[in-house]
Amino acid sequence: MEYQTVRDEKLKESYIEYTHSSGLKVFLYPMKGYSTAYALFGTKYGSIDTCFKTDSDDDFIDVPEGVAHFLEHKLFESEEGDAFTLFAKTGASANAFTSFDKTCYLFSCADHFKESFGYLLSFVQDPYFTAQTVQKEQGIIGQEIRMYDDEPNWRVFFNLLTALYHKHPVRIDIAGTVDSIARIDDKLLYRCYHTFYNLHNMVLAVAGNFDVDEAMAVIDEKLKPAAAINIERKTVDEPLTVAKHDAVQQLEVAIPLFNIGFKEQPESRMAMLKAEIELEILMKVIAGSGSALYRRLYDSGLINDSFECEVHSGRGYLSCIFGGESKEPRRVYEELLKEIEHFRKEGIPAEDVERVKRSVYGKAIRGLNDVDDVANLLVSSYFEGVGVFDLIHTAAGVTPADIEKRFSFSLQADRSAISVIEPVKQ
């Protein structure tokens, strides 16, 4: 098997990369001096993939929301039992997650890597669905959906996405709805599995303390070759305007929760990565914990230390989100908009950009010392079509002029919305 060792001389980091004969992209990142290994087996298939076609389809097909998450649950089951039982034998900690644009299966271990790695590659490639087991799972996931319907932090976030987006499926809960999952059956699960769990649509990443030759041997033994598949995802004509500016819900909370979002123009590949980094720096300059606005809001009691900001991005969506707790969330919104306008008039101080940039760069560098972060970086970079170290080098190259340019068309008040979870009125 031909493989290449990718080295970054500036960072003094290296990893092994190759495409296996089965079609799977593989990244192996051994890290000397670490006691644990972390493996991640992912597919470019998430909750937003609800309309697609392959070369064998005459037209696009629509599937109910929540299928990707449903598949994640079901893949752990087999005729012999569930995969967690196997990992328990080796002492490995196994899990999985479904996001908007990918699904990943993972484990971490301090020993018995070979056996655990074999289990991971085996169960993800061995689906087992029946009408009876699907029906049982509908009840389990239905309970999960109802639980999250009453979870304030979950609802404040998805209520904001519903306000920001008109059509894009990012506005739909990752697990779907009780009604949508009721339309899922075993045939549909097999259809989506064989479409998106094709190894040509997947990636495997291992980081930490493991033997490279041993990992390659397990990969050769366990992977099942598959014919290449072409998946076309239907793009949504999402306008840059917001669907609405305000979303309110009452739940059992002591203090109101809020998310304030600004809808941005999504890009792709390196342009998206650059946008994400520049927006993160811009948001932290304006309202990060070291900003004048943060200190004023905190000292006046309008926010507490739960206040934070993040860039939310993926295929076809990009937004800036500020959130936390406040007894007067709309005043926080007003003060944030005022501060944004202040910076538009006065400009972004270059020294603030450099300060925040160093923080963002340092966080990215520290991530290379964590096996979980490294494995996740390998997977996300591959699916996003950028290099593994591009995030670090792009962050290092950001200038105050880049931030001013980004600011000229970002954080626009007319493309903003607020989502609030209020205490239930007595």
pLDDT in tens, 233-275: 999 999 999 999 999 999 999 999 999 999 999 999 999 999 9
Is the same domain home to 213 and 288?
no
153-209: per-residue pLDDT in tens? 999 999 999 999 999 999 999 999 999 999 999 999 999 999 999 999 999 999 999
Q: Which pLDDT belongs to residue 282?
A: 98
Q: Judge if 151 and 48 occupy the same domain.
A: yes
Is 265 part of a structural domain of the chain?
yes
Q: Which domain holds residue 94?
A: 4-233
Least confident of 40-49, 76-85, 310-319: 76-85
Q: Is the domain of 299 the same as that of 228?
A: no
What global pTM score does this model have?
Answer: 0.95
Answer yes or no: do 10 and 110 share one domain. yes
Task: Examine the domain organization and report whether 212 and 254 are in the same domain.
Answer: no
Q: Above 70 in pLDDT, residue 424?
A: yes
Closest CA to 338 of 270, 397, 277, 260: 260
Q: Are residues 193 and 274 in the same domain?
A: no
Question: Any idea what the Cα angle at residue 51 is, between residues 47 and 52, rounded to 5°?
Answer: 110
Scan for tokens 């954080």, then name that residue: 411
How many domains does the chain divide into? 2
240 located within any domain: no
Q: Which of 209, 233, 257 is the last residue of a domain?
A: 233
> Where among 168, 198, 233 does a domain terminate?
233
Q: Is 123 among the domain residues?
A: yes
Amino acid 107: pLDDT? 97
Helix, strand, coil percentages for the chain (3-state, nearest 5): 45, 20, 35
* Domain co-membership, 182 together with 304: no
Do 192 and 251 lie in one domain? The reply is no
- Do 44 and 103 fall within a single domain? yes
In a domain, 238, yes or no: no
Evaluate whether 263 touches 162 at the Cβ level (below 8 Å).
no
Q: What is the pLDDT of residues 307-356, one digit of tens each?
A: 999 999 999 999 999 999 999 999 999 999 999 999 999 999 999 999 99
* Residue at a domain's end among 233, 265, 293: 233
Reported as half-sphere exposure (CB side, CA atoms, 13 A), residue 97 has a value of 7
Q: Does 239 reside within a domain?
A: no
CATH for 205: 3.30.830.10
Are 267 and 227 members of one domain?
Answer: no
In this structure, the answer to whether residues 54 and 129 fall within a common structural domain is yes
Q: Which of 65, 72, 264, 339 is catalytic?
A: 72
The answer to whether 222 and 39 have CB atoms below 8 angstroms apart is no
280 among known catalytic residues = no
The verdict on residue 241 lying in a domain is no
Whole-angstrom distance, CA of residue 39 vs CA of residue 204: 7
